[in-house]
Amino acid sequence: KNMACIFDLDGVLVDTAVYHYKAWKQLANSLGFDFTHAQNEQLKGVNRMCSLDMILKWGNLDKSESEREELASLKNSWYVAMISKMTIAEVLPGSLKLLQDLKEQGVKTALGSASKNSALILERTGLVDFFDAIVDGNAVTSSKPDPEVFVKGAELLKVANKDCVVFEDAIAGVQAAIAAGMKIIGVGETGNLPGAQLVIKDLSAITIEEILSLYN
Ligand code: B16
Ligand code: MG
Residue 189: per-residue pLDDT: 82
Q: Which pTM value belongs to this model? A: 0.94
Q: Which stretches of the chain score pLDDT less than 70?
A: none
* Closest to 134 measured CA to CA, from 150, 206, 88: 150
Residue 174: per-residue pLDDT: 96
Residue 215: per-residue pLDDT: 83
CA of 10 to the centre of ligand 1 (A): 6
ipTM: 0.94
Q: Is 62 a catalytic residue?
A: no
Handedness of CA 35, 38, 44, 46 (dihedral sign): negative
CA-to-CA dists, residue 69 to 22, 50, 54, angstroms: 19, 12, 14
Residue 190: per-residue pLDDT: 76
Nearby residues of 89 by Cβ (< 8 Å), 6 or more positions away:
none
Q: Is 53 a catalytic residue?
A: no
Which ligand 1 atom sits nearest the alpha carbon of residue 117? 16
Among the listed residues 10, 15, 132, 169, the single catalytic one is: 10
Residue 157: per-residue pLDDT: 98
Query: Which ligand approaches the C-alpha of residue 136 most closely?
Result: 1
> Does residue 56 sit in helix, strand or coil?
helix
Residue 1: per-residue pLDDT: 73
